[in-house]
Chain A
Amino acid sequence: MFDAEKFIEKTIDTLQTEIKGRALIAFSGGVDSTCSAVLANKAIGDRLIAVHVDTGYMRKNESINVKKMMEELSLNHRFIDASQEFYNALKDVKDPEKKRKIIGGNFIRIFERVAEKEGIEYLIQGTIAPDWIESGNHLRDTIKSHHNVGGLPENMKLKLVEPLREIYKDEVRKVARVLGLKISERQPFPGPGLAIRIIGEATPERTDVVREACYIVENEIEHAVDKGLMEKPWQYFAVLLPVRTVGVHGDKRAYGNIIAVRAVQSIDAMTCAYSDIPQEVLDGISTKITNTLGNKINRIVYDITNKPPSTVEWE
Chain B
Amino acid sequence: MVRIYVIDNGGQWTHREWRTLRDLDVDTKIVPNTTDFQELYSEEIDGLVLSGGAPRIGLTNRLGKCGEYLEKADFPILGICAGHQFMARFFGGEVKPSKIPEFGKIELTLLREDEEIFEGVTKKSIVWESHNDEVIVLPKKFLLLAESENCKIQAMRHKGKPLYGLQFHPEVEHTAYGEQIFKNFANLCKK
Q: Which residues of A contact B (CB under 8 A)?
A: 1-2, 129, 133-134, 139-141, 143, 168, 266-268, 270-273, 305-309
Contact = CB atoms under 8 A, between A and B. Distances in A.
Q: Which of B12, B14, B25 has the most CB of A within 10 A?
A: B12
B173 A270 contact: yes
B130 interface: yes
Contacts of A271: 104, 128, 172-174
Contacts of B10: 139-141
B140 interface: no
Prevailing SS type, chain B contact patch: mixed
A196 B173 CA distance: 26
Nearest to B24: A1
Interface in B95-120: 103-105
A314 to B, nearest CB: 16
B8 interface: yes
Given A305-B104, A306-B105, 12 more contacts: A1-B23, A133-B14, A140-B11, A140-B12, A140-B14, A268-B173, A270-B12, A270-B16, A272-B174, A308-B104, A308-B128, A308-B130
Contact of B104 (A1, A134, A307): A307
A143 B11 CA distance: 11
Contact of B8 (A139, A168, A308): A139
Contacts of A1: 23, 25
A308 B101 CA distance: 12
Contacts of A139: 8-10, 32, 53
A267 B174 CA distance: 9
Nearest to A266: B173
Contacts of A2: 22-23
A270 B174 CA distance: 10
A134 B53 CA distance: 12
Contacts of B104: 271, 305-309
B65 interface: no
Contacts of A134: 12
Contacts of B15: 129, 133
Contacts of A168: 19
Given A139-B8, A139-B32, A140-B54, A270 B103 contact: no
Interface residues of B, number: 25
B13 interface: yes
B12 A267 contact: no
Contact of A309 (B8, B9, B53, B103): B103
B81 to A, nearest CB: 12
A133 B105 contact: no
Nearest to B126: A273
A144 B77 CA distance: 31
Nearest to A170: B173
Contacts of B14: 133, 140
Contacts of B9: 139
B180 to A, nearest CB: 16
A99 B54 CA distance: 25
B60 to A, nearest CB: 15
29 contacts: A1-B23, A1-B25, A2-B22, A2-B23, A129-B15, A133-B12, A139-B9, A139-B32, A139-B53, A140-B10, A140-B11, A140-B12, A140-B14, A140-B54, A141-B54, A266-B173, A267-B173, A270-B16, A272-B174, A273-B174, A305-B104, A306-B103, A306-B104, A306-B105, A308-B103, A308-B104, A308-B130, A309-B103, A309-B104
A143 B12 CA distance: 9
A309 B132 CA distance: 11
Contacts of B173: 266-268, 270-271
B70 to A, nearest CB: 20
A288 to B, nearest CB: 30
B54 to A, nearest CB: 4
Interface in B41-86: 53-54
A134 B15 CA distance: 11
A186 B99 CA distance: 41
Contacts of A143: 12
Nearest 10 interchain pairs by C-beta = A309-B103, A139-B10, A306-B104, A271-B172, A308-B103, A141-B54, A271-B174, A308-B130, A140-B10, A267-B173
Contacts of A140: 10-12, 14, 53-54
A270 B23 contact: no
A307 B172 CA distance: 11
Given A141-B54, A268-B173, A273 B12 contact: no
